[in-house]
Amino acid sequence: MSEAHPTGETPFRFAGRDYIAVFDWAAIHAYEQAMRGESITVIVRELDRFVRAAKGGHPEAWRFEPRTSAIGELMRAGLGRYHPEVTAREAFMMFNDPAVQTAFGLALTAAMPEGDASGERRAAGTTVHDPRRRDGSRSSGAGARRGKGSKSSGRQHPA
């Protein structure tokens, strides 16, 4: 039953009830508000790191488990459009079900298609450049102050 619709709406069943998860702009905003401004990409990266470690057989994959508060808020936000009555705690309790995890994975992938190693993201045949490198640093002068070059101020800093 878990298959993402082109709009990102992903139906799933839990405890005999049908649900729909979707990560539209309203859901992303709701998550970031609940997490006091933290970008949704932070939890997405935590989940990705954990899944890769677990699937890769990393002996200490448990160390990469994402924060439970963030998972609950992420799921509550994803359910918010169609199921506003679900609390973060209730949503988190759903997360133990592998089918629910799959559904949320599909919904998140529909909302935020994966990038490749070059920092490019592809969605529906388009390419969008991500100005950040994989290490989190900027790949260009983006974000630099206007009128200020990248020259040193001339001050010496202790090593």
3-state DSSP assignment of residue 97:
coil
- pLDDT at residue 114, rounded to an integer: 61
Q: How many other C-beta atoms can be found within 10 angstroms of the C-beta atom of residue 131? A: 12
- pLDDT at residue 8, rounded to an integer: 81
Model confidence at 119, pLDDT cuts 50, 70, 90, reads very low
Instruction: Decide if 39 contacts 32 (C-beta within 8 A).
Output: yes
Residue 138 has pLDDT above 70, yes or no: no
Kindly give, in sequence order, each residue whose CB lies less than 8 Å from that of residue 114, ignoring residues fewer than 6 positions away: 121
Residue 126 has pLDDT above 60, yes or no: no
Residue 56 has pLDDT above 50, yes or no: yes
- Burial (CB < 10 A; 0-12, 13-18, 19+), residue 72, is buried
